[in-house]
Amino acid sequence: MRNNKVDPENVDQKLFEIFRSVGYDGASMESLSQATGLKKASLYHRFPNGKQEMAQHVLKNVEQWINDNIVTVLADKAISPSIRLKKAISSLGKLYNNGANNCLLRTLSIGPDAGIFKETVTHCFNLITQSFTELLIEAGLPGSEAKKKANLINPLLQGALVLSGATGDNSHFENCLDNIGQFLQTTN
């Protein structure tokens, strides 16, 4: 007898969780199969190019998430800049589970095959920097200063996630979100 059809979104989510938590090399087909509830051959039915395609797929989902939760939110001129900021930062806190979750952009950037994902990963980072830059400019900062501040957001986030993840102490990440919120508060 055969299992019920597996919800594709749930599959995406489970693939994402595996790749994010253990990276590309640490994610075996067996672990991906167990997490999704699909046999290996079924995964190959959905992703004919295998593991690579799965990782690229979840990476594209992250890019979409950034567009939906950062780019679009920060550019929404119907809301005040400071509230947009809070919404975006709050979304980041949820995405990373307050520091308990690794970042897929980072875990896919290590290992012999990291080059495959480099272009998309770089684009994701750029999306974040650019949308924060534009918000800060809109809030009144000079372009150069806005750029300088926005350029700090990704490294601050990633650094905090590295420390929280490596040590298990999420205070690194929580402090980081607070700091980012404060030092961007040039705005109303």
Partner DNA sequence: ATTTATTTACCGAACGTTCGGTAAATAATA
Partner DNA sequence: TATTATTTACCGAACGTTCGGTAAATAAAT
Catalog residues that contact a second copy under the rule CB under 8 A: 22-23, 25-26, 31, 102, 105-107, 109-112, 118, 121-122, 125, 151, 154-160, 162-163, 165-168, 172, 175-176
- Which residue in 9, 48, 78, 182 binds DNA (CB under 7 A)? 48
Under rule CB under 7 A, residue 30 binds DNA: yes
**Which of a second copy, DNA, none sits in contact with 3, Cβ below 5 to 8 A by type?**
DNA
Closest contact distance (angstroms) between CB of 61 and DNA is 17
Amino acid letter for position 37: G
Considering the complex, what minimum distance in angstroms separates the CB of residue 41 from DNA? Answer: 3
Q: Which of 12, 17, 29, 90 binds DNA (CB under 7 A)?
A: 29
Using CB under 7 A as the binding rule, whether residue 51 contacts DNA is answered as yes
CB of 116 to DNA, least distance (A): 11
Tell me: does residue 10 bind DNA (CB under 7 A).
Answer: no
| 3-class SS letters over the chain | CCCCCCCHHHHHHHHHHHHHHHHHHHCCHHHHHHHHCCCHHHHHHHCCCHHHHHHHHHHHHHHHHHHHHHHHHHCCCCCCHHHHHHHHHHHHHHHCHHHCCCCHHHHCCCCCCCHHHHHHHHHHHHHHHHHHHHHHHHCCCCHHHHHHHHHHHHHHHHHHHHHHHHHCCCHHHHHHHHHHHHHCCCCC
Q: Which is nearer to a second copy, 7 or 25 (CB)?
A: 25
- Rounded distance between C-alpha atoms, residue 47 and residue 54, angstroms: 6
Stretch binding DNA (CB under 7 A), from 2-10, 70-78, 88-96, 152-160: 2-10
